[in-house]
Structure 1
């Protein structure tokens, strides 16, 4: 793929579409950026999956998680909340032997714990309602990657609220990444072909 840099760090691809560098070269990352990142996710299973994957990403690159995503979906039964909530220690040990996923006990336990916390939230409106209640009044409008934040007051508040409800691996930076990923904010750079495409925010 032929890439041409623009003045603000965006990359013009040979397909005529402008993307940030992180989404411009790797085909899997490009597909994720073009088709999924920043699009609204409002169902329980979808939001739960993203929280789990963002938790596994802590300390690693998103590309690492994305390449293992289908393995994660198989291992965690497509992130069906009630099924994962039923996992016991025997299942944890099985997952720790699964080379197709990230084998970290604390993160695996967090995924199970967060499924149980998601179940409990159903009595209070559900996980998506809680997460989306932290949507800010305005979205960022970064002109370059140097202007892209990694945390916000809303992500701090969301992390605090989820921890209070028993969730783990949901720090403010991780929750900011979640908010970007599921469309709560539009952090596409101004000038990107994806800016304003979520239907939540204008350009």
Structure 2
């Protein structure tokens, strides 16, 4: 029998919990979000029967428009391609949703797989969050081109990431981005982000 083990973040060695004293003033908040569940989903979205079977198990529609996100409660579906999505949810809901999707799609040409341990999620927020990303990402992040509820795969300082803008304060123009990065690039990307944030004042930690 395989023994259970304590899962550890790829950034655990940085001791982010202990680094609570921010620079002044603070223009950026950078944190690692608590580990959640990630499920990969592949299917033919043009097949209404298959798509609706998946959506019934998921509990909300899949995003069909490129680079968009749909959600219900704490569950999200991020568009990765015409036939691919990344589903995110609290860790304790992963097994139940994985089982429901697998059962719903068992008779169809589709794939459902748990990728929770393959990546982690960083959160970058503040009035200068967009400026930081622009230092290493070629995406057009201007609000008229990329706003809340949108996502895109890209490179950020040579690291492959999925960028999701989850919110923006209309008054302060402070934006919040979730960055999904593979574990093998997590330390590199974190150190790059800290350096890129430095000129604006940065508060780091665990979200």
TM range (shorter): under 0.3
TM-score, structure 1 as length reference: 0.28
Greater relative contact order structure (CA < 8 Å, 6+ sep): 2
Query: What is the TM-score when the length of structure 2 is the normalising length?
Result: 0.27
Q: Which has the higher helix share?
A: 1
